[in-house]
Chains A and B, each alone.
Chain A
Amino acid sequence: MKAAVVVFPGSNRERDIALALQRASYTRPVYVWHGETELPAGTDLVVLPGGFSHGDYLRCGAMAALSPIMDAVKAHAARGGYVLGVCNGFQILAEARLVPGVLMRNASLRFVCRDVHLKVEATDTAFTGGFKPGQVVRVPVAHAEGNYFTDDETLNRIEGEGQVAFRYCDADGAVTEAASPNGSARNIAGVFNAGRNVLGMMPHPENMTEDVVGGTDGAILFDSLAKALA
């Protein structure tokens, strides 16, 4: 798997995700500065990492979505190439309209960093092939703007077409309002584009890939990608 991790001014989890990819694929991802206009030849997977690109000023992800590299990322996605956006990366994907919906301020109005449980909603994709259908996993979130929002029509459509990747749930898998850290519509924590080659998600699987930091549930996502893109 040849992965490229895009670094924006203000990215801060690029190393975390690069290490998670490396552990899964035994290949070191390449860092690409946002000011570049081309991806490295042969890139299989583009990753937009977490952080505060451009300080989260104006709207989270809005300025990064217009970075020079984003044209290449869009072209890569249009060709069917894989793109993963985590946290701020998800916000950038949403601003770039590469995935449906927007991320609004958390319902609590506060930044929230804690472990959450996720129910895996789709296992027939390159990102999620290693999960069991309906599996409940534990990974952390760390964001102030992860409140997923879109209109009911779009929600119905993406649910119908298998574009919901993960939902917040409790430890037993019940999808309840209390289990959501941010007030997301229908507890959505991650969504695919229509082709399911682009995934945006708020939680941080990259921070849950070793027992010593609290668990390995997050590693399943990177292992799935490594297997699918081997």
Chain B
Amino acid sequence: MKARVHVTLKYGVLDPQGKAIAGALGSLGFSGVEDVRQGKYLELELAETDADKAREQVKAMCEKLLANTVIENYAIELV
């Protein structure tokens, strides 16, 4: 089964890249973009077929390596 993981900066943490992207969009004429937060997207190909077990595994991976939980949130989606 496949896990999709989104890692994003927590609100309140400065995101210089997001800010730069928002600025660039503005200068390209895309008005109305009030804020941009950038993050990471990972696709994991898992051998596990049980969804609950897979979720537990991926959660552990996020806590340990994939996200820095001091500044980042993560969301897991199984497909």
Give the interface of A toward B (CB within 8 A).
58-59, 62-63, 66, 95, 102, 104-107, 109, 147, 149-151, 183
User: B3 near A: Cβ within 8 Å?
Assistant: no
User: B20 near A: Cβ within 8 Å?
Assistant: yes
Give CA–CA (A125, B74) in the complex, Å: 38
B17:A109 contact, CB within 8 angstroms: yes
A102:B70 contact, CB within 8 angstroms: yes
Shortest Cβ distance from A147 into B: residue? B16
Q: Which of B12, B14, B20, B64 contacts A104 (CB 8 A)?
A: B14
> Please, which residues of chain B bring their CB within 8 A of the CB of A151?
12
User: B66 near A: Cβ within 8 Å?
Assistant: yes
B16:A106 contact, CB within 8 angstroms: yes
| 7 pairs of A and B residues whose beta carbons are closest in the complex | A107-B16, A105-B16, A102-B71, A102-B70, A109-B20, A59-B68, A109-B16
Given A104-B71, A149-B71: A58 touches B16 (CB 8 Å cut-off):
no
Shortest Cβ distance from B64 into A: residue? A66
> Please, which residues of chain A bring their CB within 8 A of the CB of B65?
58, 62-63, 66
B66:A104 contact, CB within 8 angstroms: no
> How many residues from B make CB contacts under 8 Å with A?
13
> Please, which residues of chain B bring their CB within 8 A of the CB of A63?
65
Q: Mark B25-69, 1 if CB is under 8 A from A, else 0.
A: 000000000000000100000000000000000000000111010
Would you give the shortest CB distance from A88 to chain B, in whole angstroms?
A: 15
Would you give the shortest CB distance from A8 to chain B, in whole angstroms?
A: 15
> Please, which residues of chain B bring their CB within 8 A of the CB of A150?
70
B16:A95 contact, CB within 8 angstroms: no
User: B13 near A: Cβ within 8 Å?
Assistant: yes
Give CA–CA (A157, B17) in the complex, Å: 28
Give CA–CA (A149, B12) in the complex, Å: 11
Shortest Cβ distance from A66 into B: residue? B65
> Please, which residues of chain A bring their CB within 8 A of the CB of B71?
102, 104, 149
* Supplied contacts A58-B66, A66-B64, A104-B16, 20 more A-B pairs, CB within 8 Å: A58-B40, A58-B65, A62-B65, A62-B68, A66-B65, A95-B68, A102-B68, A102-B71, A104-B13, A104-B14, A104-B71, A106-B16, A109-B17, A109-B20, A147-B16, A149-B13, A149-B14, A149-B71, A151-B12, A183-B16
> Please, which residues of chain B bring their CB within 8 A of the CB of A109?
16-17, 20
Would you give the shortest CB distance from B46 to chain A, in whole angstroms?
A: 18
> Please, which residues of chain B bring their CB within 8 A of the CB of A104?
13-14, 16, 71
Would you give the shortest CB distance from B15 to chain A, in whole angstroms?
A: 8
